[in-house]
Amino acid sequence: MVAPLNQRNAHPRDESVTFEAEGHRYLIQGSSEGVISVTTLLGEFFPKFDPDAVIDKYYTRWQQNSYKKPECYNKTKDEIKEMWRADGDKAKEEGTRLHQAIEAYYNNDEEVEYDQSRKEWKQFQAFQEEHKLEAYRTEMILWSSKHKLGG
């Protein structure tokens, strides 16, 4: 389903690109061959987080001084790594839900539910109240067939 704002403010180039959430793939003019996402491109410029390297570097210190990183004190390296993975998964899920709720807000979609007592939602509401933004679109895929890039 196309979001109301995206439908109302459609652009001719919209018809030439589609996004497939499964696999985070963009199809430009019907083909994904050679196309990379902006997310993938940007990822090339930043080192991937290496939990083993961080744990190896700081583990002894965390075990000797519980106040330095109390959530890691008295935990094995594997427990710390699993905790970080779970925290990362939770943050991604919560970020996605908030993103969906903000899109729903601007598109007047009441079917998306979000806990409005959460700090993040209150921060969004305060920002919106202060700036009185009127959304033009909630998503707009930009793409280049020349550069084989979508995002």
| Predicted confidence (pLDDT) at residue 45 exceeds the cutoff of 90 | yes
58 — pLDDT class (breaks 50, 70, 90): very high
- The percent of residues above 90 in pLDDT, for the chain, comes to 91
7 — pLDDT class (breaks 50, 70, 90): very high
Q: How far apart are CA 98 and CA 38, in angstroms?
A: 21
112 — pLDDT class (breaks 50, 70, 90): confident
CB atoms within 10 A of CB 2: 11
Average pLDDT, the chain: 95
Sign of CA dihedral 114, 121, 90, 21: positive
Going by their DSSP bridges, the two strands 149-150 and 36-37 should be labelled as parallel
3-state secondary structure of 108: coil
Q: How far apart are CA 136 and CA 143, in angstroms?
A: 19
Q: What is the pTM of this model?
A: 0.83
pLDDT tens-digit readout, 94-105: 999 999 999 999
The structure tokens listed for 57 are 């570097």
Q: How far apart are CA 142 and CA 149, in angstroms?
A: 8
